[in-house]
Amino acid sequence: MPEDFKWYVVHTYSGYENKVASNLQTTVENRNLHHLFDDIKVPTEIVEEITDGKTKEVERKLFPGYVFIKMVYTDESWYVVKNIRGCTGFVGPESKPVPLTDDEASKMGVETHTVEVSYNVGDVVRIIDGPLEDLVGNVDNIDIANNSVRVIVSMFGRETPADLELNQVEPLE
Domain segments of the chain: what residues? 6-107, 124-171
Nearest to 105 by CA among 39, 149, 25, 26: 39
Query: Three-class SS of residue 9?
Result: strand
What's the pTM value of the predicted model, to 2 decimals? 0.64
136-143, strands of its sheet edge to edge: 158-165, 148-155, 136-143, 124-127, 169-171
pLDDT at 6 over 60: yes
Residues in the chain: 173
- How far apart are alpha carbons 22 and 41 in whole angstroms? 10
- pLDDT tens figures, 39-70: 999 988 888 888 887 888 888 888 999 999 99
**Structure confidence at residue 113 as a pLDDT band (50, 70, 90):** low
Question: pLDDT tens-digit profile of 162-171?
Answer: 999 888 899 9
| Average pLDDT value for the chain | 87
Under CATH, to which class is 124-171 assigned? Answer: mainly beta
% of the chain beyond a pLDDT of 70: 95
Q: Could you tell me the CATH superfamily of domain 6-107?
A: NusG, N-terminal domain (3.30.70.940)
* CA neighbor of 124 nearest in space, from 138, 135, 134: 138
- For residue 169, CA distances in Å to 24, 35, 113, 150, 166 come to 43, 38, 18, 10, 6
